Amino acid sequence: MTSHTIESVSQEHRVFPPPEAFASQASIGSREAYAALYERSIEDPEGFWREQAQSLRWSTPPARVLEWHPPFAKWFGGGKLNLADNCLDRHVASWRANKAAIIWEGEPGEVRVFTYRELLREVCRFANALESLGVRSGDRVGIYMGMVPEAAIAMLACARIGAIHSVVFGGFAAEAVRDRMNDAQAKCIVTQDGAYRRGSVVPLKLQVDKAVEQCPSVKHVVVVKRTHNEIEMKPGRDQLWSDLVEKASAVHVAPALDSEHPLFILYTSGTTGKPKGVMHTTAGYLLGAYLTTKYVFDLRDEDVYWCTADIGWVTGHSYIVYGPLSNGATVMMYEGAPNQPDPSRFWQIIERHGVSIFYTAPTAIRTFVKWGEEFPNKHDLSSLRLMGSVGEPINPEAWMWYRKVIGGDRCPIVDTYWQTETGSIVMTPLPGAIPSKPGSCSLPFFGISPKVLREDGSEAGVNEGGLLVIDKPWPSMLRTVWGDDERYKTQYFSRFPGKYFTGDGARKDEDGFFWVMGRIDDVVNVSGHRLGTAEIESALVAHPSVAEAAVVGIPDELTGQALVAFVTLKSHDKPSKPLNAALMEHVANEIGKFARPKEIRFADAVPKTRSGKIMRRLLRDVAQGKEATGDVTTLEDIGVLARLREHEEE
């Protein structure tokens, strides 16, 4: 057993079939319908994708489907299209012209609605504005904004003229903006005076001013006025968005761009290492975003669809902007924090706007659990019909809470597994066709061929933990790391030549369902058991007092590594010695004595990346009493680390 790459200790066996009322209405309504399409997509990928590509609007249909020179892929060669045209003009030419494309709610409470026609006009204006600044096809444009409609408009305007956008999450500081702009050699940055966050103003323009001092390539800064804090405007370089669009025509002819025209760069640091500029291109990415949104969310024209991600992450790119808009959906977009002015805010939004599809992250769900169910219980959430999760393995108990408290035991949950690099969802249940098991992302999406491998490249057995790869190219895969083909090769294709390595550990169960066990870097070896920390965390989260847990390994003379658990309690529970002992026992009972943590520390929060993933690398340092080393620029709340150390000294 000890030769396993990772040993699975999960005890989760619950299964929830698709509700009949849901399945009977769904676009893919049975396991057989899924299986037939899936088999076709794997047996005849070229035929399958040629057919699927017809759902996009092309100026010139593609002559070829795939050119694969491992690890470099080209999809839909010879084809020409415009992504913004697919998201906007196409719907404006239909009955959807006056349908709401974006319903936006600001943190202070105001609401703005853009119909498809209005959104097209705004995008055309800004496309013309960018061109008036000299931005051309292939130029890079930085977007450093909060969750305002102009952020989506700026992305679509770039896509329209063929400029490559690089969105930098508005929670990053000047250095992160500087490094990303320099790596991409951006010509222009779009920003805001400030962004609202939990009632205060984050001064974005100030950060841009600092960053741009050291970005010689940046010639223009465009500023949306949102918070009306004082800003300095540098003549010749800085322009107000409002001044530019006022002068700009609302008509803009979308040029036909090559299928492989670069669409965006998005930097991902993951939880380790120097940020990589993941590059996506036009047609394959769009098709992936379009198709997954359509089937995974079983999208219908009447839906109000809300993905709570920030536009600065890939989830915001694919599932706030490109996926839903290419489907002609109504997208809910919210500017602020979930607890502004109080922890009811999300539930209020669902009630007020009749949200029917809700897509969020495990970190948010665990926070809701911590705050308590009294907040969602005060609101009418009956408009919801489907819920999703993305970003980390979801702890089965958090999944159960989500299903019961938010979904009223009625809504299917899609646990969608994917990455910045995959461009769109690669594994997920289809809500009308595939049963869900809490904590499993279930089965591959069409055209995706995932495998769990042992270190030697052979396929792992049933329930044997191993390394998760995708062994065939797919349309929305990244094409390279910006400016660094070598890094693309070594990072993703060197471990198993010709196969894409995700960096995650996983196992496949007796039904062929996949269970992602977390980043392979987080595996801990205790007395010869190689354990994924996520499963031990899930055991802790299954205890009624625990909202969130982070488990790391530290060196131990006796066992090789020993486990240290950081635990955040639900707001009604208090740390105590007996609770500490009870939690140790709980893990020993749930998993086995070998997994009993050496130490449990109570913490009011654990450090996370800004996209909400637990940063175990930093916790390892804290657990060993070391200063945190390495890159902390993506850390959500630096104060968390300081507080964890204080506990140590108590």
Angle between helices 45-53 and 282-296 (to 10 degrees): 90
Residue 649, classified by CB atoms within 10 Å of its CB into exposed (0-12), middle (13-18) or buried (19+), is exposed
Q: Which residues pair with 317 in a beta bridge?
A: none
Which region, judged by CB under 6 A, interacts with ligand WTA, from 142-150, 286-294, 496-504, 559-567?
A: 496-504
Angle between helices 577-590 and 533-541 (to 10 degrees): 120
Helices (H), 317-378: 323-326, 345-353, 362-371, 374-377
Which region, judged by CB under 6 A, interacts with ligand WTA, from 49-57, 158-166, 209-217, 310-318?
A: 310-318
CB atoms closer than 10 angstroms to residue 24: 11
Residue whose beta carbon is closest to ligand WTA:
420
CB atoms closer than 10 angstroms to residue 257: 26
Rounded CA-CA distance 96/301 in Å is: 9
CB of 468 to ligand WTA, least distance (A): 8
535: left (phi over 0), alpha (psi -120 to 50) or beta: alpha
* Residues in contact with ligand WTA, shown as a per-residue x/- string from 401 to 420 under the rule CB under 6 A: --------------xxxxxx
Q: Is 268 in the site for ligand WTA (CB under 6 A)?
A: yes
344/611 with CB nearer ligand WTA: 611
* Residues in contact with ligand WTA, shown as a per-residue x/- string from 594 to 623 under the rule CB under 6 A: -----------------x------------
Rounded CA-CA distance 92/322 in Å is: 16
* Residues in contact with ligand WTA, shown as a per-residue x/- string from 560 to 599 under the rule CB under 6 A: ----------------------------------------
* Residues in contact with ligand WTA, shown as a per-residue x/- string from 428 to 457 under the rule CB under 6 A: -------------x----------------
- List the one residue from 5, 10, 502, 561 that touches ligand WTA (CB under 6 A): 502
Which region, judged by CB under 6 A, interacts with ligand WTA, from 51-59, 153-161, 222-230, 386-394?
A: 386-394
Q: Is 504 in the site for ligand WTA (CB under 6 A)?
A: yes
Give residues 313-352 in contact with ligand WTA (rule: CB under 6 A): 313-315
CB of 550 to ligand WTA, least distance (A): 14
CB of 504 to ligand WTA, least distance (A): 5
Q: Is 263 in the site for ligand WTA (CB under 6 A)?
A: no
CB of 613 to ligand WTA, least distance (A): 6
CA 155 to chain CA centroid, nearest Å: 17
Between β-strands 220-224 and 200-202, what pairing exists: parallel, antiparallel or unpaired? unpaired
CA 350 to chain CA centroid, nearest Å: 21
Which region, judged by CB under 6 A, interacts with ligand WTA, from 39-47, 389-397, 456-464, 565-573?
A: 389-397
Where in 106-162 does DSSP place strands (E)? 111-115, 140-144
Return the sign of the alpha-carbon dihedral for residues 111, 115, 116, 120: negative
Q: Is 393 in the site for ligand WTA (CB under 6 A)?
A: yes
Q: Which residues contact 597 (CB under 8 A, 6 or more apart)?
A: 536, 551, 562, 563, 564, 565, 583, 584, 587
Q: Is 79 in the site for ligand WTA (CB under 6 A)?
A: no
Interface residues toward ligand WTA, by CB under 6 A: 268, 313-315, 390-393, 415-420, 441, 502-504, 516, 519, 611
